[in-house]
Amino acid sequence: MNLTARSRKRLIGVHPDLVRVVETAARATSQPFQVSEGLRSLARQRQLVKRGASKTLNSRHLSGHAVDLMAMIGSRVSWEVPLYYRIADAMKAAAQDLNIPLEWGGDWTSFFDGPHFQLPWDAYPKSANPALMSAPPAVTDRAEVLAGKRLVIGDRGEAVRSLQEQLSRLGFDAVADGAFGPKTRAVVQAFQTRAGLTADGIVGPVTARALRLALKRS
């Protein structure tokens, strides 16, 4: 089976090892699946905990070390538990083939979470996700950056501080220090993912407009 474009978009910001497991499993699985969620914002995590849909504010989704998969029957999503055992079989086999450790939420005794797969904490610390930390910023137009039309990693100053304040007002974990570092970039990517935009970590006109809209709604 093939992952849809939407599923691929939802894998942006997810640790490359986990992406490889998902892609390998997708090719081999007897139960077709798609990706329902990857990287998650702190604001959304807070909502999920409030609703009882998640048990922790320390979710691996926040750092891109977890994905949720959904079983597909044709174009319909199914939450029937047995289907998730079949997906888990494919995910575990792929992880083993690739020699990547993997945990399944269906194996948790405290809280059965069949759609959830994550990289273990001990082998994959929270701060180490190449998809978020060291990926080079996408190609940017330096003239636009200089004209203040775009904000990218490495930028400093009032415009950055204002961006961080906006993100923080929207519930993201952003410190308004006026320096656009890897943390700010990760927060921008989380916001972009939530807004359905390409999570490139660059604040151009489209992301800026989405921010203004989100602030109006909040």
Q: Please report, as ranges, the residues that interact with Zn ion according to CB under 5 A.
A: 68, 116
Least distance (Å) between residue 83 CB and Zn ion: 16
SS3 101: coil
Least distance (Å) between residue 37 CB and Zn ion: 7
Burial of 144 (0-12, 13-18, 19+ CB in 10 A): middle
Q: Between 12 and 202, whose beta carbon lies closer to Zn ion?
A: 12
As a residue count, the chain comes to 218
Label the pairing between strands 103-104 and 33-37: unpaired
Handedness of CA 85, 91, 95, 100 (dihedral sign): negative
Q: Between 61 and 150, whose beta carbon lies closer to Zn ion?
A: 61
| Nearest Cα residue to 41 out of 58, 61, 65 | 61
Least distance (Å) between residue 196 CB and Zn ion: 19
- Joined tokens for residue 106: 């269906």
Least distance (Å) between residue 66 CB and Zn ion: 5
Q: Between 68 and 200, whose beta carbon lies closer to Zn ion?
A: 68
CB 179 within 8 A of CB 161: no
Q: Between 17 and 68, whose beta carbon lies closer to Zn ion?
A: 68
Q: What distance in Å separates the CA atoms of residue 8 and residue 49, rounded to the nearest whole number?
A: 26
The residue sitting closest to Zn ion, measured at its beta carbon, is 116
Q: Between 116 and 183, whose beta carbon lies closer to Zn ion?
A: 116
Least distance (Å) between residue 5 CB and Zn ion: 21
